[in-house]
Structure 1
Amino acid sequence: MKITLDWLREHLDGDFTVADVVATLNRIGHEVEGVENPAEKLAGFRVARVLTAEKHPQADKLQVLTVDTGDGGAPLTVVCGAPNARAGLVGVLGLPGAVVPANGMELKVAAVRGVESNGMMCSTRELELGDDHDGIIELPADAPIGTPFADYSGAADPVVDISITPNRQDCMGVRGLARDLAAAGLGTLKPLAVPTIDGRGPMAIEIRTDDAEACPAFYGRTIAGIDNTVATPEWMRRRLEAIGQRSISALVDISNYVMFDLGRPSHIYDRAKLTGPLVARRAKQGETVTALNGKDYTLTDTMTVIADDRGVHDIAGIMGGEHSGCSDTTTDVLVEVAYFNPERIALTGQALALTSDARSRFERGVDPSFLGDATEIVTRLILDICGGTPSVMTKAGTPPTGTKTVDYDPALSATLGGIAIPEGDQQEILTSLGFSIASVSQDDRRIWRIAVPSWRRDVDAAPDIVEEVTRITGFDAVESVALPRSDGVAKPTATPEQLLERRLRRAAAAAGYHEAVTWSFVSDREAAPFGGGAWSLANPISEDLKVMRPSLLPGLLAAAARNQNRGQDSIRLFEIGRRYLADAEHPTLCIVMAGNKAERGWQAGKAAAFDAYDAKAAALALLDAAGAPADRLQVMEPIAEAGIWHPGQAATLRLGPKAVLAEFGALHPSLARHYDVDGAVMAMQIFLDAIPAKRASGPARSAFTPPALQPVRRDFAFLAPATLAAGDLVRAVKGADKAVIVDARLFDRFAGAGVPEGQVSLAVEVVLQPAEKSFAEAELKAIADKVVAAAAKVGAVLRG
């Protein structure tokens, strides 16, 4: 949103500078992105009068001018090729040293066909003031000679560029910003002059709304006998061009001016191009329209349009149609001022990938109570500038103008906002912002019942009122309060969940993985392989960021694809974030590995790719860093998610059948292709909310005392079904005698000669730890019998 001081003063009385405006806007929550001073690019250009104009002796199309610059010195000689250059003309002279805005050329004293030229008489295009390049600028004969052109044209007024947050739809017009500035003490808000138009007779064309959900109200009137060939008033054209809007025609400029001035879009139709009633309705599936930007759009039956008997004339609330726009021959018009449902406008704009100044206002929510006044204001400007005879105003439908109230305790400014603001000051702030206040009794105390103005769609509850009074007072007035301390040391404020994430973030980075931060939103296409998203945004940034992610994998896979496209051949990415499922959001750590684990070399040979065991090792290492009992985890089948994991190359790590702490393995090749990742991709996910919490008090484990005796190792070879998971056998062996068996591990797996078909030989090393004395042979045999019996329970027998 851009404003100028001249425009701001149309609504705000007071003595203030651009520095005052910038400082106040930043203080009350409107971030100023920059201040542009148009006078800087017009430095060196001044109002000048042509005294004589003679034909150039060496060129038929050039003239030699003598020009009075108004400085009291001798006239300057200037060579000019403009057809309208003549004696007596008052125009704009660029002096030597000036830089032409249109092309960046610095003007110098130079000979043109043998005649010295001391500058250049300029056209509007060269000064970026318009598109006219047929001749030099012609100013009124009484324009003050010698005046800097920036001062004369009003371009010396700085332009302030403001970033308006999405919730402040009321500040999408100059008046809304003026209201906030006045509440902050910078000047006094002027009353808005709303004219009363006496219409003559009914409208010449019927208007109505057949889509009350998307267009609850549609106001309009016709005006006959207008002249659209008249020039836009200088003051209006100057203000529009200062904020980057090209002046097009009087009618278009009027509509644009009201939109930027009051935040209220409108549309003006050429009535001669309409056939039958003008209706707000749902589009027909496949219906098309050519918009004012010259592009064709195919519509769906979820979109609202303004149409007549012939077809669509307007994509409602976003952009008008090309064929019903006004031209120089327009004599009769229909003025439309409507209210459109913000959510529907946003969805239509996103679906069509179509943006406009009108859309940016309608999708935030315009003032539903301002339809009639806006119609009168637009009409008055048309009558004053273009003339004509207006009809009476027609009102189709009813805008949603119910009054919203909020119960508010003034003490909340201190307890919630951190600033103790006197009640009188709060009341003054709220009143100046348009709120009205009544005192009521509630639970034996007096509170305020505040009526929210119709233009403040963002205010719903007491905290919103606190925000209003504190931001206008200034957040810099919030007192700094030190954190609670014990013995001079600040008490920790991080939660156990935050500490866990920090620990895992450091561990993953130390293991060589690069942290990625991806969007929490994905497209429908990206969410589809994971069963789709449980939650979708009603007003997303774009269609590609519509669904709250059901997994962290889409973002990391997209990042992996981008890295591959940029030549990375070894990708190790991790992210800690939230998955958004139907029941809740779940904190998760996800790792993606693609490409080469080790580069080729004279010692290592060929490059080695990542495999599922790398993902498993990463999961176990990070679970151990998180404090999970990694040594007691069971490797079990993956979670049943069709299409995500490669069959036979993925598994889960669990504490019991239901407590899934992590899943790992190779992603299904079709999933990798879905995200345009080349080659095999390994992944791992740790579900942080499934990790058991440590005991609240006492040590996590008993103090370590080195054993007095050396451990004893025994090897066992078992024949087992080929379908038996080795981890199940190792876990069974380890639990055979928990008092003395301290570890067990698989060290060999063999299938082939000497092993029956359908079976495998699994060799397990068992570590025994004697306590007070060494094992006797009988004790060792008893332990061995327990190991064999435990193995038999899972289907393994001792190999003979």
Structure 2
Amino acid sequence: MKFTLSWLKTHLDTDADLSAILKTLNDIGLEVEDVENPAEKLGAFRIAKVLTAERHPQADKLQVLTVDQGDGHPLQVVCGAPNARAGLVGVFGVEGAVVPVNGMVLKKTAIRGVESNGMMCSFRELELGEDHDGIIELAGDAPVGQVYAEWAGLDDPVIDVSITPNRQDCMGVRGIARDLAAAGLGTMKPLAIPVVEGSGPGPDVRTDDVEGCPAFFARTVRGVANGRSPEWMARRLKAVGQKPISTLVDITNYLMIDLGRPLHVYDLAALKGGLVARKGKTGEEVLALNGKTYAVDETMTVIADDAAVHDIGGIMGGEHSGATDATTDVLIECAWFTPERIAVTGQKLALTSDARGRFERGVDPAFLDDGLSIATDLVVKLCGGTPSEPTRAGTPPLTPRTISYDPAQCLALAGVDVAADEQQRILESLGFGVAGEAGAWTITVPTWRRDVDGWPDIVEEVVRIVGLDKVPSTPLPRAPGVARPTATAEQMVERRVRRTAAARGLAEAINWSFLSEKEAASVGGGDWTLANPISEELKVMRPSLLPGLLSATRRNMDRGAASVRLFELGRRYFTGQKDGSWERATVGFVLAGEKTPRGWQTGKAQPFGAHDAKAEVTALLAAAGAPVANLQSFGEASGAYHPGQSGTLRLGPKTVLAEYGVLHPSLARLFGLTGTVVAGEIFLDAIPAKRRTGFMRAPYAPPALQAVKRDFAFLVPQALEADALVRAVRGADKKAIVEARLFDMFVGPGVEEGHKSLAVEVTLQPGEKSFSQEELDAISSAVVKAAEKLGGTLRG
């Protein structure tokens, strides 16, 4: 929600400066996202007059101008604008000025051999409009030499406020002014409601869909002259990002932003018969004002005449019945649409608009008559014409809502002691009615506060205006004695994994649990699709943590990160699980970019590889308490990974604890990543829970005798996986062998074709006494026999 400071002050009588207003907005829960003053970037652009204009000697479409910028020293400027001529008064950018539209710094230069100093500017170049057909033409009496922004009244900060979905009243400048007045930053100016004397009966309008459009008010104005809106209105609309179109259209946009009341204007000449708000029919279409055609159905509210649909009710009007420069007779629509119907329609059509953003929050149902009168009055004043009497079809939902409230509830719920008279002042300033005696108030909720439902909401309003910073930090009561552990076994596992990942240099990411349908499909598709998503990009509950991590990786690399090491601990979501649970605790990670910085020897950085992913997976599984020594390596992982450069770790052939490897190139391209990207996921829910034996750890008992290490090299078939050999060697003597690891693989001279040499280091741990030579020989023999069962032979 954007508005200018001067626009705010048309509703709020205040002496507060900009910084005080911004601080108060944040304090009362209206978060300020941005503040921009157009005058700041236009300080180097001055009003100037063209004294002479001659044809450029080397270019037919260029002119050489002599420009007076008010300092008594005319400058020579080369200009290509078709309207440049002697006597024109425009806007001149001096040397050193920065052109807002492209950031170009103006400097003295030669254009086709002719010196040029500065630039005469168009509206688009100054980001003041879309007009780029020529340079700006000002009135002849504009003061030459004055800063253009000051003369044009552009020294007016634009404030951008983030409005939460529950604050429908603040979708208009007046609602924001009301909050600031309640916070003590001034007083509200009264809203003038004009009395419009109608001539003749009102238009033929009705509502046949009372669920979607309970009330449809309208008025006609005949004999209007449409054209450009007045400068004050166009300037305010442009400041907040609205493109001025015509007076009739601009009036509706202006009132929507000013008062939070969307309206629509129809060209009467384009209508066939009366207008009706009704449900759409399957097969009907409407060409909307954005140039796109939308198919409607019976779940949507439309505005139609006897021949066609003209409006997607409360969201966007139709192109063929909108007001144009040739319009002479108009119908002004001021209707109330059910928020839920608007939200569903907008989601089905994937259509957003400023009107939808207000109607689906809930527009004030008591402001139909007044809104229609204000709009009609503006049309008559700015476009002329004769208004009709109003037609009021249907009834808006105006059932009064009251809440029983005790001022002491503020202290009890929020911990803030606010005097009863101050609470009453705040509530009445916000538009609430307060009646009754101390301790037993009856609060009447204003029609524009659809979000207030019970007494806790009243407390929230009071505390919000007083200031959330006034809420004290009160510690919870602590029971005497030693506190019992509160974390569950699953939480303890997650805590250990999180600490291990951070200790290994991975940064934690926290992503949405929702994905777009395209992202979900890239990792196999999701089971859960939301019926009411925040947006199409957050529609499917994630079946994998990888898409969120890959998006975060791309954002980091787009900002210059040479090496990205991210992890996330969260949930994946599925249906049809055997144990009835549809949330799966998972750890995901992504490694991208440079594994190590460039070395002076080669000048190249080392990329990540599949073995780096396996190392992270193994470390995190160990932190989670998985029996890492007993895990089996199986071939390729899911389709998200590169074939031949990925794998899984399992307990048996069916229980997958983790998958890892190099990301599939197509998935990397989908997320805009280049180079080798490795990733992995650890499925914490698949790790078997350890049997609890108490809270005490077993005492540390280091072995009394030194371990013995023996190396074995075996010739094995090329197809044999090294992991299978290592597991067989480790199981040759489970009592004596405590570790077995592969440390070498060789293929080449001395190794017959179809075979490879695998070297395994075996660690033997004696117990009460050292191994005898006979015992060592027996263990070695058992190791060789275990390898022979897999087709291996001991190398000589």
Same fold judged by TM-score > 0.5?
A: yes
**Match in the other structure for 1:137:** 139
Please tell me whether residue 318 in structure 1 is matched to residue 325 in structure 2: no
Given the two structures, how large is their TM-score scaled by the length of structure 1?
0.69
Report the CA distance between 1:279 and its aligned residue: 3.5
Indicate conservation of the 8 Å contact 1:124/1:136, yes or no: no
* Equivalent residue for 2:272, pick from 272, 275, 281: 275
Report the CA distance between 1:185 and its aligned residue: 1.0
Deviations 1:170-213 (A, max 9, x none): 11211101110111012222443444556555434334344x55
Please tell me whether residue 545 in structure 1 is matched to residue 538 in structure 2: yes
Please tell me whether residue 429 in structure 1 is matched to residue 422 in structure 2: no
Indicate conservation of the 8 Å contact 1:123/1:135, yes or no: no
Determine the C-alpha separation between the residues in 1 that align with 2:554 and 2:91: 57
**Match in the other structure for 1:176:** 175
Determine the C-alpha separation between the residues in 2 that align with 1:696 and 1:337: 72
Taking a change above 3 Å as real, the CA distance of residues 709 and 417 of structure 1, as seen in their structure-2 partners, is same
Indicate conservation of the 8 Å contact 1:726/1:762, yes or no: no
Indicate conservation of the 8 Å contact 2:722/2:742, yes or no: no
1:536 counterpart SS class: coil
**Match in the other structure for 1:588:** 586
2:366 counterpart SS class: coil
Indicate conservation of the 8 Å contact 2:224/2:380, yes or no: no
Indicate conservation of the 8 Å contact 1:44/1:97, yes or no: no
Taking a change above 3 Å as real, the CA distance of residues 690 and 459 of structure 1, as seen in their structure-2 partners, is farther
Indicate conservation of the 8 Å contact 1:741/1:767, yes or no: yes
Report the CA distance between 1:347 and its aligned residue: 5.9
**Match in the other structure for 2:217:** 220
Report the CA distance between 1:336 and its aligned residue: 1.0
Indicate conservation of the 8 Å contact 2:282/2:296, yes or no: yes
Determine the C-alpha separation between the residues in 1 that align with 2:628 and 2:740: 11
Q: Unmatched 5+ residue regions in structure 2?
A: 56-62, 78-82, 109-118, 576-580, 747-755
Taking a change above 3 Å as real, the CA distance of residues 377 and 764 of structure 1, as seen in their structure-2 partners, is same
Determine the C-alpha separation between the residues in 1 that align with 2:54 and 2:592: 73
Map residues 131-170 of structure 1 onto 2, 5 A cutoff. Answer: 136-137=138-139, 158-170=157-169
Taking a change above 3 Å as real, the CA distance of residues 105 and 339 of structure 1, as seen in their structure-2 partners, is same
**Match in the other structure for 2:753:** none
Determine the C-alpha separation between the residues in 2 that align with 1:679 and 1:148: 51
Please tell me whether residue 457 in structure 1 is matched to residue 439 in structure 2: no
Deviations 1:35-58 (A, max 9, x none): 526499589979x9x9xx9x9999
Determine the C-alpha separation between the residues in 2 that align with 1:97 and 1:642: 58
Taking a change above 3 Å as real, the CA distance of residues 414 and 348 of structure 1, as seen in their structure-2 partners, is same
Report the CA distance between 1:337 and its aligned residue: 1.7
Please tell me whether residue 336 in structure 1 is matched to residue 333 in structure 2: yes
**Match in the other structure for 1:618:** 616
**Match in the other structure for 1:393:** 390
**Match in the other structure for 1:686:** 682
Map residues 498-577 of structure 1 onto 2, 5 A cutoff. Answer: 504-505=497-498, 507-508=500-501, 511=504, 518-528=511-521, 529-536=523-530, 538-541=532-535, 543-557=536-550, 574-577=567-570
Indicate conservation of the 8 Å contact 2:729/2:740, yes or no: no
Taking a change above 3 Å as real, the CA distance of residues 325 and 447 of structure 1, as seen in their structure-2 partners, is same
Report the CA distance between 1:271 and its aligned residue: 0.6
Report the CA distance between 1:389 and its aligned residue: 3.9
Determine the C-alpha separation between the residues in 2 that align with 1:146 and 1:434: 49
Determine the C-alpha separation between the residues in 2 that align with 1:762 and 1:99: 71
**Match in the other structure for 2:255:** 258
Taking a change above 3 Å as real, the CA distance of residues 708 and 538 of structure 1, as seen in their structure-2 partners, is same
**Match in the other structure for 2:114:** none
Determine the C-alpha separation between the residues in 1 that align with 2:722 and 2:773: 31
Deviations 1:552-610 (A, max 9, x none): 12234556788999999998654334434454655421134689999999999x99998
Taking a change above 3 Å as real, the CA distance of residues 84 and 538 of structure 1, as seen in their structure-2 partners, is farther
Report the CA distance between 1:265 and its aligned residue: 0.8
Indicate conservation of the 8 Å contact 2:402/2:442, yes or no: yes
**Match in the other structure for 2:113:** none
| One-letter amino acid of the counterpart of residue 336, structure 1 | E
**Match in the other structure for 1:474:** 467
Deviations 1:333-358 (A, max 9, x none): 11112233445545655676655432
**Match in the other structure for 2:25:** 25
Percent of paired sites with the same residue: 49
Deviations 1:344-401 (A, max 9, x none): 5456556766554323323433223323332232223334444444444334455455
Report the CA distance between 1:270 and its aligned residue: 0.8
Deviations 1:450-471 (A, max 9, x none): 4443322344455544432222
**Match in the other structure for 1:34:** 35
Determine the C-alpha separation between the residues in 2 that align with 1:308 and 1:631: 72
Indicate conservation of the 8 Å contact 2:207/2:213, yes or no: no
Report the CA distance between 1:472 and its aligned residue: 1.0
Indicate conservation of the 8 Å contact 1:94/1:107, yes or no: no
Q: Say which is worse superposed, 25-34 or 779-788, in terms of deviation.
A: 779-788
Indicate conservation of the 8 Å contact 1:407/1:450, yes or no: yes
Determine the C-alpha separation between the residues in 1 that align with 2:636 and 2:191: 64
Taking a change above 3 Å as real, the CA distance of residues 163 and 137 of structure 1, as seen in their structure-2 partners, is farther
Indicate conservation of the 8 Å contact 1:746/1:762, yes or no: yes
Taking a change above 3 Å as real, the CA distance of residues 361 and 610 of structure 1, as seen in their structure-2 partners, is same
Indicate conservation of the 8 Å contact 1:199/1:391, yes or no: yes
Q: Unmatched 5+ residue regions in structure 1?
A: 109-118, 751-759
Indicate conservation of the 8 Å contact 1:13/1:190, yes or no: yes
Determine the C-alpha separation between the residues in 2 that align with 1:602 and 1:107: 42
Let me know the Cα RMSD of the aligned residues. 6.4
Taking a change above 3 Å as real, the CA distance of residues 727 and 611 of structure 1, as seen in their structure-2 partners, is farther
Determine the C-alpha separation between the residues in 2 that align with 1:396 and 1:468: 35
Q: Say which is worse superposed, 608-617 or 638-647, in terms of deviation.
A: 638-647
Given the two structures, how large is their TM-score scaled by the length of structure 2?
0.69
Taking a change above 3 Å as real, the CA distance of residues 440 and 521 of structure 1, as seen in their structure-2 partners, is farther
Taking a change above 3 Å as real, the CA distance of residues 643 and 664 of structure 1, as seen in their structure-2 partners, is closer
Report the CA distance between 1:219 and its aligned residue: 1.6
| One-letter amino acid of the counterpart of residue 589, structure 1 | V
Taking a change above 3 Å as real, the CA distance of residues 688 and 413 of structure 1, as seen in their structure-2 partners, is farther
2:175 counterpart SS class: helix
Taking a change above 3 Å as real, the CA distance of residues 453 and 796 of structure 1, as seen in their structure-2 partners, is farther
Number of residue pairs the alignment of both structures matches: 733
Deviations 1:476-532 (A, max 9, x none): 33446689999xxxx999999888667545644665667655544311122234442
1:705 counterpart SS class: coil
Determine the C-alpha separation between the residues in 2 that align with 1:449 and 1:637: 70
Taking a change above 3 Å as real, the CA distance of residues 725 and 127 of structure 1, as seen in their structure-2 partners, is closer
Deviations 1:615-674 (A, max 9, x none): 4443221122x25143465448899989889699644445x9998654446778887787
